[in-house]
Structures are given as C-alpha cells and as structure tokens.
Amino acid sequence: MTGTTTDTFGAEIMSRIDDLAALSESPDGLTRRYLTPEHRQANDLVGRWMGDAGMTVRQDAVGNIIGRYEGVSEGLPAVLIGSHLDTVVMAGKFDGMLGVITGIACVGELNRRGRRLPFAVEVVGFGDEEGVRFQSGYLGSHALAGNFEPALLERRDADDISLAEAMTAFGLDPARVGDAARRAPDVLAYLELHIEQGPVLESQGLPVGVVTTIAGATRLAVSLTGEAGHAGTVPMTLRHDALAAAAECILAVERVCAESPNLVGTVGQIAAEPGASNVIPGSVRFTVDLRAAEDPHRTTALDELMVLLEAAAKRRGVAIEIEKVHEAASVPCDAQLSDLIAGAIERSGWRVQRLPSGAGHDAAAMAGLAPVGMVFVRCEGGVSHNPAESITAADAEAGARVLFQVLNDFPGGS
C-alpha cells in the first residue's frame, strides 16, 4: 500500500458499518435475519457499493449478494472474499459485515488504481450464517459450496413460515437453490476477514492475526431425572436432587476443560422442573458446548466427561441421559494461504500471531469447495454477539491493508 490511500480504508469502512447497522428489524438493537425485508435492503446497499467499486453485481439462488471484478481477461477463476450479512438478535455491527465491507474496499482500491489481476476477485455477502431464523447456520455458504441440504426447505421459522415459502417471498425459486453452487475449478481460494470475537489479539497488543483452524464442536443435551419432593420434609440423605447433580456435572465440564489450554466448555442453558422454591428439583435439562481446534482434544475430553457425568448422577441416584445434538469436526485453514496472510501482516509491520477460531465461520462451509484463509481483526474486550461489539478505525484499516496485500501477493497476483 502506498501513500494517501492507506488512510481512507478505515474511515470508509467504519461509515459503511454504520450504514449497514441502520438496516435492522428492531429499532433498539441490530437484528437482521435471513430473507427479511432488511436482508433485501442490506443486499441492495451492499450491491450498490459493489457496483461503485467496479464490480458486476448479482444475487444468487440462495440470496447471497455477489460482486465480481474481472481479472486481466473475462471469465477467469476467482478468489472469493466473503462473510455474512445476517446477524444474531441484538447483535454487534461488525460480526460478518466487516469482512464484506473490507472485501469491497480492497476491490475498490484495485479499481481506483486501474489494476486487473491474473484472476477475478469476487466479494460475497452471505445471506445466512448465524442461522437465527431457521435454526440452521451457513445456509448461504453451504449453498455456494454445493452442500445445501434440500430437506431444510421444509424447516419453519418462529412464525411458521417455511424456508421454501420465505425464499419465494424474497423472489427466489426454492427449486433452484442448487444453482447457487459454484464449481471448484472456478474458485481459486476463499478469504474471510472477521472480528476475532475473543480477547487474544487485544491481549497481545496486535490489530490483526492469522487463523489456523476453525474449532470443532460437540453439543450435548443432558437430562437428569431424580425425584421431586417437599423441600421441608425430605432429609438430605434421602434426596435425589436433579439440580444438585447438574451442579456437579457443570463443575465437571469446567474442570475437564480447564485442564487443557486447547479446550473450552460451556453450559449455557439449564432448566429445572418443577421450578419452585419449596420443591426439590425432580428433573433438569442442560446443554454442554465443547470446542477445540484439534479434534482429538475434544473427543478425548468428551469421553472423560461422559464418565464423570454418569458417575455424578449414579452417586446421587439420579438417572442421566446424554444426547449428542451436534458434532462438527474442526476445519483447518489452508497452510499456503495462511502463510500469505502471515507474510502480509509481517510486511505491514506487525508480529504474526496465529490463533484458532473458537467460533464458526462461513470459511468452515467454504472449505468444502476451496482452500480457505482467514484474517482476524482485534475487537474491544473480545466482546461479540453484543451491541457493545467494537473495533477502531485504525484496526479496520490494518485489516484492509492485510487483505489488500494478500490479493496482491496471491500466486499470479503481482
């Protein structure tokens, strides 16, 4: 990067972040779900920015917005830069959006310089990554990678609208979702820039980092069934308190995960029945979310945890049922792309920090189609999925510079 243009990325990115954040289903916090009128508005706005950056713009069969900047000749295979435009409920404004806006900024810079690369560059704003509306994430990136699950078309949202119906209302043809799939030879690589959503870069004093792996995850639904009883009359020694058993289980999750720096475990949801202050809890359901960059760390911990949970329940005379409701293997980022990103960070003057991503990203779905590489940008306090999510303009600038450098360094790119 040279001279005056380096300072323009950050300011433009931050102002566009605010423009996109204004497109919200609720007035008091950012919520933008897949195939809503606000999704349409976001696609329109992002499409306009893509056009301004010299790209031809289209919406694909699943509702992703895609801009394409041709290379030295038309129709060349493309490097894809993407992230998502949907949000969680009461979201932050950088999660997903930053990657799309930064991609457009980089192409805009190529366009301003009149530069064509030996490959095309496409920027993708995925319509669904968070999965809030239909309880299934990565709908946009799975469709583009050719892994859309047709059975999901029958999935219904909270208002009893099926995915197929929502697509039709959005102007899409649910029978043609498969058309969103790209052919592997047409996609050279997938790059995603995303806020870290964790505190590592901040603790290291670094604006950017290279993602090594997108962590694998296991989610469990655990049910404990004891015996409800009168809180005043049943002696402690004769109780089968399901909630006390759950407490032991939760501490076991914490203990097992604390034993390894490579592991995180969370019990984020719990419900006790009958749920009265003067009744011994008879049954409890809780979730376990277990993640690790290396699959063996997760599966070993899972085995250990199963034994501990079952032992805790048995000791208390409480029945336990453990159901595995989700399992995803970890997805490693491509070594060559990661080195390119590391090189770009180094040339920008920062120490290279490599770190795994504990959160899932579109890159995990795109790895089914092409080699993937990810750049993380520092966010304040590691806070995300929260209206307080925040980054500085200087860090937005840093991320854009790295991404732009990666495009220039991409084999055949300079």
| DSSP structure class, residue 29 | B
Q: Which residue, 87 or 338, is less far from Zn ion as judged by CB?
A: 87
The one segment of 88-96, 141-149, 306-314, 317-325 that binds Zn ion by CB under 5 A: 88-96
Closest distance of CB 196 from Zn ion, Å:
11
Closest distance of CB 246 from Zn ion, Å:
31
Q: Which residue, 128 or 397, is less far from Zn ion as judged by CB?
A: 128
| DSSP structure class, residue 7 | G
Q: What angle do CA 357, 218, 364 make, to 5 degrees?
A: 40
Closest distance of CB 356 from Zn ion, Å:
15
Q: Which residue, 131 or 229, is less far from Zn ion as judged by CB?
A: 131
Q: Which residue, 96 or 103, is less far from Zn ion as judged by CB?
A: 96
Q: Which residue, 60 or 95, is less far from Zn ion as judged by CB?
A: 95
The one segment of 23-31, 92-100, 145-153, 321-329 that binds Zn ion by CB under 5 A: 92-100
Q: Which residue, 65 or 242, is less far from Zn ion as judged by CB?
A: 65
**Which residue do the tokens 């490579």 mark?**
262
Instruction: List the interface residues with Zn ion, window 274-333 (CB under 5 A).
Output: none
Q: Are 353 and 209 in contact (CB under 8 A)?
A: yes
Q: Are 378 and 395 in contact (CB under 8 A)?
A: yes
Q: How far apart are CA 121 and CA 74, in angstroms?
A: 11
* Backbone φ and ψ of 193, nearest 5°: -105, 135
The one segment of 87-95, 111-119, 156-164, 372-380 that binds Zn ion by CB under 5 A: 87-95
Closest distance of CB 206 from Zn ion, Å:
20
CA dihedral 237, 239, 242, 243 (to 10 degrees): -60
Q: Which residue, 225 or 357, is less far from Zn ion as judged by CB?
A: 357
| 109 lines the binding site for Zn ion (CB under 5 A) | no
Q: Taking Cα atoms as reference points, which of 146, 111, 144 lies closest to residue 128?
A: 144
Q: Are 322 and 306 in contact (CB under 8 A)?
A: yes
**Which residue do the tokens 């949801």 mark?**
269
Closest distance of CB 30 from Zn ion, Å:
13
* Number of residues in contact with Zn ion under rule CB under 5 A: 2
Closest distance of CB 195 from Zn ion, Å:
8
| 38 lines the binding site for Zn ion (CB under 5 A) | no
The one segment of 94-102, 144-152, 180-188, 401-409 that binds Zn ion by CB under 5 A: 94-102
The one segment of 10-18, 93-101, 173-181, 390-398 that binds Zn ion by CB under 5 A: 93-101
| 196 lines the binding site for Zn ion (CB under 5 A) | no
Closest distance of CB 231 from Zn ion, Å:
44
The one segment of 22-30, 33-41, 90-98, 399-407 that binds Zn ion by CB under 5 A: 90-98
Tell me what percent of the chain is helix, strand and coil, each rounded to the nearest 5: 40, 25, 35
Q: Is 323 left (phi over 0), alpha (psi -120 to 50) or beta?
A: beta
Q: Is 267 left (phi over 0), alpha (psi -120 to 50) or beta?
A: beta
| 95 lines the binding site for Zn ion (CB under 5 A) | yes
Q: Which residue, 78 or 379, is less far from Zn ion as judged by CB?
A: 379
CA dihedral 302, 307, 312, 316 (to 10 degrees): 140
For 161-193, letters b (16+ CB in 10 Å) and e give bbbbbbbeebebebeebeebbbeeeebbbbbbb
| DSSP assignment of 307-373 | HHHHHHHHHTT-EEEEEEEEEE--EEPPHHHHHHHHHHHHHTT----EEEESS--HHHHHTTTS-EE
Closest distance of CB 126 from Zn ion, Å:
9
Closest distance of CB 129 from Zn ion, Å:
6
The one segment of 96-104, 113-121, 245-253, 307-315 that binds Zn ion by CB under 5 A: 96-104
Closest distance of CB 84 from Zn ion, Å:
6
Q: How far apart are CA 26 and CA 388, in angstroms?
A: 16
Q: Select the residue interacting with Zn ion from 63, 71, 96, 137 (CB under 5 A).
A: 96
Q: Which residue, 95 or 196, is less far from Zn ion as judged by CB?
A: 95
Q: Which token pair is 159?
A: 């208002």
Q: How far apart are CA 239 and CA 233, in angstroms?
A: 10
Task: Note the residues at the interface with Zn ion (CB under 5 A).
Answer: 95-96
